[in-house]
Structure 1
């Protein structure tokens, strides 16, 4: 589907009150006209340059059942087939076999590491106390050989055997056997391997996703609850007739569920067992991909039986960090064994921000703890940034937002861009109070204490190249103030309009004043300030309007009711290499020419995304019977489903045919707007004119590809206002209508295009206020 690359964080900011906030044809496509010059085969759309960053499609866009604050797909149930398909695409080329996996990832490399003698004593104890496990000692063998053959490999019996075997190993594990002085896991945690293939775990976002067996943690005095928040290790047994790739993808989908249920999970361990013999593989999933052990044959102790026993012992003794939890920046309640979710009373540890001369600075000598209140956004998927956004509050009561995400180490830090925006006095963008980086996948998670982290992989060169592109670091940003994303269904039409206007102003200030192009305009990245909470307001030294060269964007003394957030995909406009075709953004809102891979991302593409955002928030949540005309091109229950679920070719063809070229079909879409959003139709029509109206052609709309001044007729810019422009000969028209990089439409500059859209949104806010 797409290449896998991505972005995040240190900053002080001086922002004005304007900068406040922070808190988202299923018809016959064959009958729709194709884009000019559109190829009919998908490969040219799917093969992006290696320097390209991916758009947010992946498993993250299939929406969570019982969504967190309206996350992405309007609360629709995540379909198992769609999820596993996207996960498979995420992990394509991101699977690697580590020859020393057990030693590197399962043994802590300390005196607490289980020894071979320990494993032999545990097997002896199992033989003497447990029957029917298929374990015995061949005393006639001079090596004192231990043997293990499960009584069955059938899917209806093997998971039960494996759990009995693993639990027996735990039962006979003690400090006296292991020589361990560790008290981990905490005594309040009860670990148990459970068979769950016939019963869904509570908290799942899809009842069809059921592991065969899992390792769970619970309270000592109570039963182990079968819910995703308590799962530590996932397991899958290869079914008869099932292909290994399908079995692996199923295991990966379970790992994704753990990432969803446990926001501070850094990696997830998995066990994949065979249906034809005593063999298994250990897997480890993280934000850069999946790593496996070589197949381990646990039939006898002169093969891998002792290694498997030692590994299962080590897993049962792992502390929170070794089990795959982020612990460096947080603390959690004493009554909990691991930082699983909100129930664990998680607090972050950060330095105290100080406001001095209107700049946010950080005093490294003053530490404070902030209790995380609510998880307001969570991105699913595995090979993603895995963004988690929490709300919190300073001790003084001001609301803050805490963002954790896995940033690609090849990209500029998000915090650096916020800092640059602050120095350029950008308005309409959130303020960073604190930013820190933590685990690095390559050096902290994969190295395992080995100086040559890539030398013991089965294909070391492939692993090395992959990690050069996909290495990530966990970043934490603390921002202020808070708000609600445009996707929040509780927002009134006026609040949505104010949010859109604030987002547009923030984007323009970021681009024209700060020299930064956002490249990810979506309903989750434009927020409306939450007036119900005390906000941390920063007031910078006033700038006289007469001396402010960017007063045309927005008067600094006029408050905005929202702001633009999330600079993960943003870049300095001057740093973008010429000709780089970066397909960035959130899938339904990506501009047509960017999604096609035809043009490098520029200002007009973000302006196009604003139109798609406006349409999206006006259509969702769908209100039954709200449309006067029902068109099969805009399905009644989910009008924009094609934009979310289709591939690049179908989405771009659909948008071109139904939004750009056909005013009647576009009008049918406007009829789908929710009650109270009728006035937004005029703004949508005017934005369509700003983006695609052709010069000198009346009410004719179309795509103009990016070109060079020399490709213009006469080498001169043409006026693109209504009724103006130059007539062209038919045979030359296609080549002559080419946009300059600094144009929104033919003959209309970025600045003038922004002013047109701003004027429309200002009218909308005014009409809704009356």
Structure 2
């Protein structure tokens, strides 16, 4: 037995040596002999796949291209120059799907600029965003760009993108081969997949500590999320229904999110709400801390950040300004090294994904929010970046009960209105009894529940990630709170968040669901506007979004918004008009009142329609 093991070891060593010699022979006189002189995309792909067939065909990942067919699984139709997915025979025979994409590669024949351009980075960011959308629990995504003969590796996580230094593939052949090989050799952990989620026979399982007993509980997740976010730089919140493996019905909701390390943990706020007798808010079952941005970026050295000036991001980009650059070179990979050196353990951050220490974070200055900052489509917060390397976020899984459906999946107008009514009741209880302000009212943070399982509530509030205990002072997190399209006007202007602003957000949710989601309920696209005016609620600068909402809440603008409602929602228009008159009215100087009225909070809650 020992003899056979030694023989196998010798054979593996011989094979590795022969492969290394073969790679070396392809690089002569400072150039890859068979690499296209003019790096046209099709020719580069041909070279790439030929190299893979000869040296990498047995690795855990495999390179593909989708330049002749769109990837499936996402709303947007896109084609990727190069990408990696698992080397599984079944997957090689099916249409490429975003759920299988592990690494993204972009090829460009030439680039006149020395450094990467904003347009190219945004292009690859759109691909990464689709990966995060379909794989919402992904910790980070690897990507690379090959511009002519210049190559650069990128990593995107929930605090932003960062990169290696760019290098010439002919001048640094060993580094080039290490990169190509690293992407198909990485483990699930190194690729940024969440190993906390156990996958078995097509099902997903997690193990959390039950809050009541302190014991570990294994839960099965539903296959598809009931809510997720499409942005990259955000909390990345995604929710799945969950149940005990032996149960037929889903009893819980498992929520994954990346929250600033300066914010009070949601589990603590849920315990506090329960202790103070709050009604209509989800109950804590269990939780688990998975990782953090600081842990994932541990040991990395960051250089000078890219500075893209005078740019306004498009609403489809969902991408914040780039973070600091990774100035660390690549470590060696076993048996594909051109230079002679001792074997070392391969690290995921050879291509930008090694795990990070804690970063500094400064308190936000509300006045800075009035600047004309670039904004993103449907992101969860407005950032006020400073000179620190990155925002440290903690990735947690929180399990709550009862289970429910996302509010956007309402099945009738009465169900929508009742769910919103009860969610406002819950908000009132959270604020008046619990002394906690939610601060992130959106269509994703309200669920439709069974009255019998939810203490008589047909709608409940979830997601207290951005909630704040009244009187607790500033958190120190570097961003304002809220979801862009539902944020109150004054919050966008940097004014301190109040309960009135949350009620304004509830109103925006109602309008949004009627004008945008109502058409899905009706099933008749006739009369649906080609481009909704509500797009202006999340696209453009802060000032532009404020101007749009102020106009739309005025008498003339509001009537145009109501015109986007389907005919079946005509009865809701009257109620929306009355609610608008409560939240917004003209002052003596003719300006629109959009602030918080003085006096007891009960006064405004009592005038809500429930």
Query: By the TM > 0.5 criterion, same fold?
Result: yes
CA–CA separation in structure 2 for the residues paired with 1:283 and 1:485: 34
CA–CA separation in structure 1 for the residues paired with 2:420 and 2:546: 24
> Which among 35, 41, 51 is matched to residue 165 of structure 1?
51
The equivalent residue for 1:214 is: 83
> Which among 578, 586, 595 is matched to residue 483 of structure 2?
586
Deviation at 1:264, TM superposition (A): 3.4
Question: SS where residue 214 of structure 1 aligns?
Answer: strand
CA gap of 1:596–1:672, structure 2 versus 1, over 3 A, is same
- Mapped pair 1:232 → 2:77: no
User: Would you say the 8 A contact 1:167–1:193 is kept in 2?
Assistant: no
CA–CA separation in structure 1 for the residues paired with 2:260 and 2:123: 26
The equivalent residue for 1:320 is: 188
Under a length normalisation based on structure 1, what TM-score does the superposition of the two structures give?
Answer: 0.60
CA–CA separation in structure 1 for the residues paired with 2:571 and 2:508: 16
The equivalent residue for 1:755 is: 606
Deviation at 1:752, TM superposition (A): 0.4
Question: SS where residue 509 of structure 2 aligns?
Answer: helix
CA–CA separation in structure 1 for the residues paired with 2:292 and 2:536: 37
- Mapped pair 1:381 → 2:235: no
CA–CA separation in structure 1 for the residues paired with 2:479 and 2:193: 33
- Mapped pair 1:612 → 2:536: no
CA gap of 1:149–1:648, structure 2 versus 1, over 3 A, is same
- Mapped pair 1:499 → 2:499: no
> Which among 140, 148, 151 is matched to residue 280 of structure 1?
151
- Mapped pair 1:260 → 2:133: yes
- Which structure's relative contact order is higher, taking Cα pairs within 8 Å and 6+ residues apart? 1
Deviation at 1:639, TM superposition (A): 4.8
Spell out, residue by residue over 1:74-106, the C-alpha distance to the aligned partner (whole angstroms, 9 max, x if none): xxxxxxxxxxxxxxxxxxxxxxxxxxxxxxxxx
Under a length normalisation based on structure 2, what TM-score does the superposition of the two structures give?
Answer: 0.75
How many residue pairs are counted as aligned between the two chains? Answer: 513
> Which among 602, 609, 617 is matched to residue 498 of structure 2?
602
> Which among 553, 576, 590 is matched to residue 659 of structure 1?
553
User: Would you say the 8 A contact 1:400–1:479 is kept in 2?
Assistant: yes
CA–CA separation in structure 2 for the residues paired with 1:579 and 1:261: 32
Alignment of 1:342-421 (within 5 A): 344-351=202-209, 353=210, 361-364=212-215, 366-394=216-244, 395-396=246-247, 397-421=249-273
Gaps of 5+ in 2: 1-8, 306-322, 326-358, 361-386
Deviation at 1:311, TM superposition (A): 3.9
User: Would you say the 8 A contact 2:410–2:416 is kept in 1?
Assistant: no
CA–CA separation in structure 2 for the residues paired with 1:312 and 1:166: 9
Deviation at 1:326, TM superposition (A): 1.0
CA gap of 1:525–1:405, structure 2 versus 1, over 3 A, is same
CA gap of 1:751–1:702, structure 2 versus 1, over 3 A, is farther
Deviation at 1:314, TM superposition (A): 3.8
Alignment of 1:553-564 (within 5 A): 559-564=456-461
CA gap of 1:654–1:292, structure 2 versus 1, over 3 A, is closer
Spell out, residue by residue over 1:306-345, the C-alpha distance to the aligned partner (whole angstroms, 9 max, x if none): 2332343343332211222110x221126xxxxxxxxx42
CA gap of 1:645–1:436, structure 2 versus 1, over 3 A, is same
CA gap of 1:413–1:363, structure 2 versus 1, over 3 A, is closer
The equivalent residue for 2:437 is: 517
User: Would you say the 8 A contact 1:519–1:569 is kept in 2?
Assistant: yes
CA–CA separation in structure 2 for the residues paired with 1:578 and 1:362: 30
Deviation at 1:503, TM superposition (A): 1.1
Task: Report which of the two structures shows the higher radius of gyration computed on alpha carbons.
Answer: 1
The equivalent residue for 2:446 is: 526
Superposition RMSD in Å: 3.6
- Mapped pair 1:432 → 2:324: no
Deviation at 1:475, TM superposition (A): 0.6
The equivalent residue for 2:42 is: 156
